[in-house]
Structure 1
Amino acid sequence: MAEQLPGQMGIFDYVDDPAPKEPDNPPKQTIDILTFLNTGSKHAIKRKWLCYKTGLNDRTMRDLLHEARKKIPVINLQNGSGYFIPDMNQENDRKMLVRWVRQEESRIKESQSIVETAKKTLSNCGVDWR
């Protein structure tokens, strides 16, 4: 790149530098979100606080919580109380886990219904989606 004279405009005054930038967040593999979650509904923690404690953005936190749920139930009942691992020694937490499972089963059924409608539209238009 040619030397820029004082006061001279350069290309990067108009467009962003195309050089790859370091990610704002550390790689997902370096953080085990389960170490930040509490057991028991009385100790639920909000996602915003988890982001603050880990330094991760909200999208990354959602992804980590999704992956954590593949290992152990992590409940968020959409009531603003936050995320927690159910304490299976507490009847209230067992009931909350049942409620969460029913909520997720309902979501699965609703999503399947929506996908079936889209498949039918593709089929009616002669489009093979597979």
Structure 2
Amino acid sequence: MDGQVKGQMELEEYLKEINRENFDILDYIPTGSTNAVARVMLRFRTGLRDRQMRKLIHFARRRIPILNMQDGKGYFIPDMNSDKDIRLLVKYVQQEESRLRRIAWSLMAARKTLRSCGINWRDEKWKKGKYKKAA
């Protein structure tokens, strides 16, 4: 219990037991850029560790766009009735598409090198933890 606030352990244990199907990070992310919530505030409100929260946001983004602007104001769901938020969402999509293209170009050279060496990078033996270097 050293270094812990009273009730902290109970909260941590409770959060470990939460049925993730009933916990939705979207319940904590506001709509509209004017209502953006900083990551530290999200952590405080949810009681989640930073990594857990980012993982939940990652999966929630498969259902609905969640923006986190570089100005440090935080996370929000774009308000599609706001011209400003629509512009921000368009900018986000353009930025991510550009990132996809850059990644694709750099992957092309890496894949070509593997193919030219006769290495199938999709082979099961290259999966994490499966490859053992010959001694």
Q: Aligned pair count?
A: 109
Gaps of at least 5 residues in structure 2 are: 1-12, 123-135
Q: Partner residue of 1:88? A: 80
Runs of 4 or more above 6 Å deviation: none
| 8 Å CA contact retained: 1:38, 1:45 | yes
Q: How much is the aligned-residue C-alpha RMSD, in angstroms? A: 1.9
| 8 Å CA contact retained: 1:51, 1:58 | yes
Alpha-carbon shift at residue 35 of structure 1 (Å) = 0.6
Counterpart of 1:73 (choices 54, 65, 75) is 65
Q: Partner residue of 1:116? A: 108
Q: Partner residue of 1:6? A: none
| 8 Å CA contact retained: 1:73, 1:85 | yes
Q: Which has the higher helix share?
A: 2
Q: Partner residue of 1:41? A: 33
TM-score, normalised with respect to structure 2? 0.72
**Structure having the higher Rg:** 1
Alpha-carbon shift at residue 59 of structure 1 (Å) = 1.2
| 8 Å CA contact retained: 1:46, 1:83 | yes
What percent of counterpart residues are identical?
A: 47
Gaps of at least 5 residues in structure 1 are: 1-21
- Secondary structure (helix, strand or coil) at the match of 2:94 reads helix
| 8 Å CA contact retained: 2:26, 2:60 | yes
Q: Partner residue of 1:125? A: 117
Aligned partners of 2:19, 2:53: CA distance in 1, in Å?
A: 12
| 8 Å CA contact retained: 1:28, 1:64 | no
Aligned partners of 1:24, 1:32: CA distance in 2, in Å?
A: 13
| 8 Å CA contact retained: 2:25, 2:56 | yes
Aligned counterparts, 1:5-24, within 5 A:
none
| 8 Å CA contact retained: 2:67, 2:77 | yes
Alpha-carbon shift at residue 77 of structure 1 (Å) = 2.2
